[in-house]
């Protein structure tokens, strides 16, 4: 059985919880069927076949012929190197696409649209989806930097700790400008410590609610759709909306 730390590290490599369980179970056996692994790993039998197929594509398992089909685990070092190679290959390909766009005439067209669009686009008409925690944090930073009156944040305990570490300087600067900052999160030893660190410029409020969102000036909101403890950062999903919805939620949390 894997430790919680090992499970988390594997999930950071892009494996979901079922994939971690199945691969760990297979590592402890020389060869097994999907049914056997389902029982050992406590994964629904109906899901075990899809999980094994996904693991095979990622280079973590190999299928052996026969009926029923049997599987063997790739050595851990080889499996991780496979993920590394694929990640580097994908990154190189995506970087090349970006560089090609930057060098093309398209960037001029996009800049022109952006400049012209500002003249008639209202914040009440804007919304968009953000994929990946890196993009979510970048957009959150842009929102925070524009704050004039108030910031309302709701975060899980884990997210709260990361939020303070990433945005403390911005929050402190805004607090010094009399921007009202309130953060709702679950009480824990780590959140209490971080709350004490920012107590001079932000109010931290304990709650059992695990909602994830950030509202700035009651005019725009970014809210996350998934549980951050269950999703890989690369697949986290956020929705940004500039509308009266933000003000309504802010009022609800102020009661």
Is the predicted pLDDT of residue 178 greater than 90, yes or no? yes
In this predicted structure, the answer to whether residue 39 has a pLDDT above a threshold of 70 is yes
Percent of the chain whose predicted confidence (pLDDT) is above 90: 24
For the 4-77 domain, the top CATH level (class) is mainly alpha
At CB < 8 A and 24+ separation, what contacts does 64-71 make? 64/31, 68/33, 68/34, 68/35, 69/33, 69/34, 70/31, 70/32, 70/33, 71/26, 71/31, 71/32, 71/33, 71/34, 71/37
pLDDT value at residue 173: 92
Please name the residue that has the structure tokens 């969102």.
213
Q: So what's the pLDDT on residue 114?
A: 59
Q: What does the pLDDT look like over 127-150, one tens digit per residue?
A: 788 888 889 999 999 999 999 999
DSSP 11-72: HHTT--HHHHHHHHHHHTSSSEEHHHHHHHHT--HHHHHHHHHHHHHHTSEEEE-SSS-EEE
Domain boundaries of the chain, sorted by first residue: 4-77, 123-254
Alpha carbon 90 to chain centroid, angstroms: 19
Collapsing DSSP to helix, strand or coil, 171 comes out as: helix
Fold of 123-254: Endonuclease; Chain A (3.30.870)
**pTM of the predicted model, to two decimals?**
0.52
| Phi–psi pair at 219, nearest 5 degrees | -120, -20
Instruction: Give the confidence band of 121 by pLDDT, cuts at 50, 70, 90.
Output: very low
Return the pLDDT at 148. 93
- Asked whether the beta carbons of 195 and 208 are under 8 A apart, the reply is no
Residue-level pLDDT at 242: 79
119, pLDDT greater than 70: no
Output the pLDDT for position 204: 93
Tell me which of 245 and 174 has the higher pLDDT: 174
Give mean pLDDT, residues 65-94. Answer: 83
Query: Residue 189 — very low, low, confident or very high, per pLDDT cuts 50/70/90?
Result: confident
pLDDT in tens, 151-164: 999 999 888 988 88
Beta bridge partners of 45: none
Give 30's pLDDT tier (boundaries 50, 70, 90): confident
Instruction: Give the Å distances, CA to CA, from 20 to 76, 226, 231.
Output: 12, 19, 13
CA distance 199 to 208: 20
Q: Please provide the DSSP assignment of 127-154 as one string.
A: EEEEESHHHHHHHHHHHHHT-SSEEEEE
**Six token digits for residue 176:** 């010094």
């Amino acid at each position: 059985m894997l430790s919680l730390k090992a499970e988390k590290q594997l999930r950071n490599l892009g494996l979901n919880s079922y994939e971690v369980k199945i691969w760990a179970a297979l590592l402890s056996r020389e060869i097994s069927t999907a049914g056997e692994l389902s029982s050992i790993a406590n994964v629904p039998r109906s899901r075990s076949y899809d999980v094994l197929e996904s693991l095979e594509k990622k280079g973590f398992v190999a299928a052996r012929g026969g009926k029923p089909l049997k599987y063997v685990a790739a050595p851990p070092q080889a499996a991780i190197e496979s993920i590394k190679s694929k990640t580097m290959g994908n990154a190189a390909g995506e970087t090349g696409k970006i560089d090609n766009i930057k060098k093309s005439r398209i960037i001029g067209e996009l800049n022109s649209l952006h400049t012209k669009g500002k003249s008639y686009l209202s914040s009440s008409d804007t919304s968009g989806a953000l994929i990946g925690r890196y993009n979510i944090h970048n957009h959150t930073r842009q929102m925070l930097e524009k704050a004039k009156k108030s910031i309302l944040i709701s975060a899980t305990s884990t997210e709260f700790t990361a939020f303070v570490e990433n945005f403390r300087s911005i929050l402190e600067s805004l607090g010094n400008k009399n921007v009202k900052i309130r953060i709702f999160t679950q009480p824990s030893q780590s959140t209490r410590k971080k709350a004490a660190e920012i107590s001079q410029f932000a109010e931290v409020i304990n709650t059992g609610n695990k909602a994830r969102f950030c509202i700035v000036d009651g005019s725009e909101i970014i809210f996350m759709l998934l549980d951050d403890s269950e999703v890989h950062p690369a697949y986290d999903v956020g929705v940004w909306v500039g509308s009266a919805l933000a003000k309504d939620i802010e009022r609800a949390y102020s009661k």
